[in-house]
């Protein structure tokens, strides 16, 4: 385990919005990959906290990939501990989604590439008594009917089974396979792989890409597919993506339910975010495109008494100045406000050629049911540009995330937004 102490840079940002609320927040860069970091890698990962307030994440597109820990210091700096790096033939690499803990303190993730066949893995790292961590590959995707190239992370149920999606592979109605939903069941020292659902590329969807799966209280799974469904969106033809539910049956099979099919119009298109429940059972998420202005939406899906779901658009992104193309999902605070990031848009053009360098935003509900967007931070053209992950919040309400840092001297960063 390699340790590197890093300091942070602070940037105070004031948003001046004519049509939304005015807010001031402080952007702190906790770690810049490639500048004082043990490993670089344009991180797309979600971050997670442990009970001690340490952050954990992964590096993304670099080889070797790594799993890291950031430990806060008393002087406001953070120390990076590299827990594991992939090395050798068949090692997991391009670890994009981030990690999750099991109840024993082990960390789990998927890799887009690497493994025996080169089409990705699900793997675990386990802490050893000397402070090092050991990696064990749980499944090697074989580039075929059981799935290929998982971008999404993994989700545990209460029994310790693992669930996830693979972006490609499965049924061949799509050129490289339309993607699958899978389950891993612990079996002593090994894990048993089972296929829950294979997308067809038709009305059900295709390419379940970045998002994690989530459970409801009855044990049903919910997720999004970036393609398939209605409409014609350029990135994931055919279709503009879907929201779906998978219900477990007593015989071990699962039943697919289509909750919403995006058209690419005002309702949005190409969802890439993890879904979020509120206490009433409504679902929240984002799409990277579509909407009134074509730059994506934040949406709510509301269950109806007849079993259908109705969509409500909470915000349609305009690019300037509120942001564009939200790849990351949404999180709640205790007051019911939502927070997220956009990968593009904002105030200024970015050096990598996008519409802007991205934003961190808040959506606040009113008594009338409308939502108001406040831009907390316009991200600068630096290591913190192009965030594409879900945010995480600490006990004081500060927000944390990763950014890719495209076309800069760095290879991305870990940042904090202090409100």
Which of 189, 80, 209, 70 lies closest to 124 in space, CA to CA?
Answer: 189
Return the pLDDT at 155.
98
Return the pLDDT at 20.
52
Return the pLDDT at 17.
37
Query: How distant, in Å, are the alpha carbons of 87, 345, 350, 357 from that of 326?
Result: 33, 10, 16, 12
Q: What is the pLDDT along the chain (419 residues), one digit of tens a residue?
A: 444 444 444 444 333 333 455 467 999 999 988 754 545 456 788 999 999 999 999 987 666 789 999 999 999 999 999 999 988 889 998 998 899 999 999 999 999 999 999 999 999 999 999 999 999 999 999 999 999 999 999 999 999 999 999 999 999 889 899 999 999 999 999 999 999 999 999 999 999 998 899 999 999 999 999 999 988 887 666 799 999 999 999 999 999 999 999 999 999 999 999 999 999 999 999 999 999 999 999 999 999 999 999 999 999 999 999 999 999 999 999 999 999 999 999 987 787 766 789 999 999 999 999 999 999 999 998 888 889 899 999 999 999 999 988 777 677 899 999 99
Which residues span the domain enclosing 23? 2-418
Q: What is the pTM of this model?
A: 0.93
Range list of β-strands (E), 22-154:
24-32, 48-49, 55-58, 66-72, 78-85, 100-101, 107-111, 121-127, 133-140
Query: How distant, in Å, are the alpha carbons of 21, 304, 372 from that of 367?
Result: 16, 21, 11
CA 114 to chain CA centroid, Å, is 20
Query: How distant, in Å, are the alpha carbons of 12, 22, 281 from that of 417?
Result: 10, 16, 29
As a whole number of angstroms, the distance between CA 152 and CA 211 comes to 5
Neighbouring C-alpha atoms within 13 Å toward the C-beta of 52: 8
CA angle (53, 58, 64) in 5-degree steps: 145
Supply the DSSP string of 37-54, one letter for each residue: -S------PPPEE-TTS-
Length of the chain: 419
As a whole number of angstroms, the distance between CA 355 and CA 246 comes to 36
- Residue 315 phi/psi, 5-degree rounding, is -160, 135
As a whole number of angstroms, the distance between CA 214 and CA 221 comes to 6
Two tokens, residue 150: 């998982």
Q: Are 261 and 269 in contact (CB under 8 A)?
A: no
As a whole number of angstroms, the distance between CA 154 and CA 123 comes to 10
SS3 call for 354:
coil
State the total domains in the chain: 1
Return the pLDDT at 409.
66
Taking only Cα atoms into account, the Rg of the chain, rounded to an integer number of angstroms, comes to: 20
β-pairing verdict for 121-127 and 133-140: antiparallel
Return the pLDDT at 238.
78
Q: Are 232 and 269 in contact (CB under 8 A)?
A: no
Return the pLDDT at 54.
98
As a whole number of angstroms, the distance between CA 57 and CA 127 comes to 15
* Domain at 221, CATH number: 2.120.10.80
As a whole number of angstroms, the distance between CA 214 and CA 206 comes to 18
Give Dmax over CA atoms of the chain in angstroms. Answer: 60
Query: How distant, in Å, are the alpha carbons of 176, 230, 244, 284 from that of 147?
Result: 10, 23, 18, 27
Beta carbons within 8 Å of 399's beta carbon, 6+ residues apart: 339, 360, 376, 391, 392, 393, 416, 417, 419
Two tokens, residue 274: 């993890």
As a whole number of angstroms, the distance between CA 57 and CA 125 comes to 13
Range list of β-strands (E), 226-369:
242-248, 254-261, 276-277, 283-287, 297-303, 309-316, 331-332, 338-342, 359-365
Two tokens, residue 294: 């074509």
Burial of 244: CB neighbours in 10 Å, binned 0-12, 13-18, 19+? buried
As a whole number of angstroms, the distance between CA 152 and CA 141 comes to 14
SS3 call for 334:
coil
């Amino acid at each position: 385990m390699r340790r590197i102490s890093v300091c942070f840079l602070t940037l105070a940002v004031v948003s001046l919005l004519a049509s939304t609320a005015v807010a001031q927040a402080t952007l702190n860069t906790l770690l810049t990959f490639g500048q004082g970091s043990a490993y670089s890698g344009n991180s797309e990962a979600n971050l997670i906290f442990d009970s001690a307030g340490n952050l954990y994440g992964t590096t993304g597109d670099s080889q070797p990939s790594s799993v890291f820990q950031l430990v806060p210091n008393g002087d406001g700096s953070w120390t990076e501990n590299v827990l594991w790096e992939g090395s050798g033939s068949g090692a997991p690499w391009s670890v994009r989604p981030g990690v999750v803990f099991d109840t024993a303190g082990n960390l789990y993730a998927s890799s887009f590439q690497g493994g025996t066949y080169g089409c990705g893995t699900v793997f675990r790292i386990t802490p050893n008594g000397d402070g090092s961590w050991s990696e064990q590959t749980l499944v090697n995707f074989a580039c075929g009917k059981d799935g290929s190239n998982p971008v999404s992370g993994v989700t545990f149920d209460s029994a310790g089974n693992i669930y996830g999606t693979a972006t490609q592979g499965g049924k061949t109605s799509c050129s490289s396979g339309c993607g699958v939903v899978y389950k891993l069941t612990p079996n002593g020292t090994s894990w048993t792989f089972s296929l829950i659902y294979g997308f067809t590329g038709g009305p059900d969807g295709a390419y379940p890409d970045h998002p994690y799966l989530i459970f409801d209280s009855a044990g049903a799974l919910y997720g999004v597919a970036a393609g398939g469904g209605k409409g014609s969106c350029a990135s994931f033809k055919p279709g503009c993506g879907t929201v779906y539910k998978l219900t477990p049956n007593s015989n071990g099979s699962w039943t697919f339910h289509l909750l919403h099919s995006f058209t690419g119009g005002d309702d949005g298109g190409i969802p890439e975010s993890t879904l979020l429940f509120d206490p009433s059972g409504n679902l929240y998420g984002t799409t990277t495109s579509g909407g009134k202005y074509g730059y994506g939406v934040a949406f709510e899906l509301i269950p109806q008494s007849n079993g259908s779901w109705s969509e409500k658009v909470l915000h349609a992104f305009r690019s300037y100045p509120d942001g564009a193309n939200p790849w990351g999902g949404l999180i709640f605070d205790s007051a019911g406000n939502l927070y997220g990031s956009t990968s593009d848009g904002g105030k200024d053009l970015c050096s990598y050629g996008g519409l802007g360098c991205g934003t961190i935003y808040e959506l606040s509900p009113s008594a009338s049911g409308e939502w108001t967007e406040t831009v907390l931070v316009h991200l600068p053209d630096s290591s913190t540009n192009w965030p594409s992950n879900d945010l995480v919040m600490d006990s004081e309400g500060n927000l944390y995330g990763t950014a890719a840092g495209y076309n800069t001297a760095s290879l991305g960063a870990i940042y904090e937004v202090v409100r």
